[in-house]
Amino acid sequence: MKGLKLTTRILAILFIAVTVISCKDGKKEQPKEDAQKTEMKGNDHSNMKHEEAGHDNSDGHHDGDKASETRDVSATSQKNAATTPIIDAYIQIKNGLVSDDNVATKKGGTALVAAFSKFDMSKLSGDTHKEYMEIMESAKEHGAHIVKSDIAHQREHFEVLSTDMDDLITLLGTEKTLYQDFCPMANNNKGASWLSEVKEIKNPYFGAKMLKCGSVKKQIN
């Protein structure tokens, strides 16, 4: 009986000791698990912040998609009527943005893509044809994005499109009298240009918020 009691006590002591050690180990491991959970929560929060801070890129547009290089375009002084439908569509986009009208701007984008598709390239040759193709591909891409974008994205695409249109007129010419305008506050205060059919400043980058912001830099024709 004494031996049995002693064995029982020993087993009880061992059980208590194992239990205490296990609890201590559990407490040591717990901070690691908490740290992992905290890290995961932090990452989720950061991701959520990133998603909230960015805008919807479902149209295929990404932040910072701006013209990365300046084209070396061969200049012409001819008055070319063939570019008029393209320029008219661009002006339609510009006027839509001036009026803060997303739908009108989309219609201008549709007209621009159609005008480029109908343009007769058969009279272009050599470097002129190559340079036109580069301008056309870029302008049509931005026009297509304008068709399916909200007005904030439309303005971003319009900025690069304006460079395309300026290059197109430099390359092929125009019969129209146009004004190249500049707003120093557009593009996060880096400044941006646009073309207008009227001398009066009507800002497409800000619309009603800052309609008169900008100045005429030069007259074409």
- Residues 92-144 pLDDT 10s: 999 999 999 999 999 999 999 999 999 999 999 999 999 999 999 999 999 99
Q: Is residue 6 part of a domain?
A: no
- pLDDT at position 9 is 58
Cβ neighbors of 195 (< 8 A, separation 6 or more) are 87, 90, 91, 94, 162, 165, 166, 169, 178, 179, 180, 181, 220
pTM reported for the whole predicted model: 0.71
Q: Is residue 48 part of a domain?
A: no
Token pair 């309609």 in the structure block, residue: 211
- CA-nearest of 91, 98, 128 to 112 is 91
Q: Is 103 exposed, middle or buried (0-12, 13-18, 19+ CB in 10 A)?
A: exposed
Q: Is residue 76 part of a domain?
A: no
Q: Which two tokens stand for residue 121?
A: 């390239």
What is the domain range of residue 162? 81-220
Return the half-sphere exposure (C-beta side, CA atoms, 13 A cut-off) of residue 173. Answer: 10
Q: Which two tokens stand for residue 138?
A: 């870029």
How much is the average pLDDT of 74-83?
85
Q: Is residue 40 part of a domain?
A: no
d(CA 139, CA 160): 8
In total, how many domains does the chain have?
1
- pLDDT at position 72 is 73
Q: Is residue 168 part of a domain?
A: yes
Q: Is residue 66 part of a domain?
A: no
Q: Is residue 22 part of a domain?
A: no
**Whether the Cβ atoms of residue 169 and residue 90 lie closer than 8 Å to each other:** no
Q: Is residue 191 part of a domain?
A: yes
d(CA 178, CA 167): 14
Q: Which two tokens stand for residue 59?
A: 């149209």
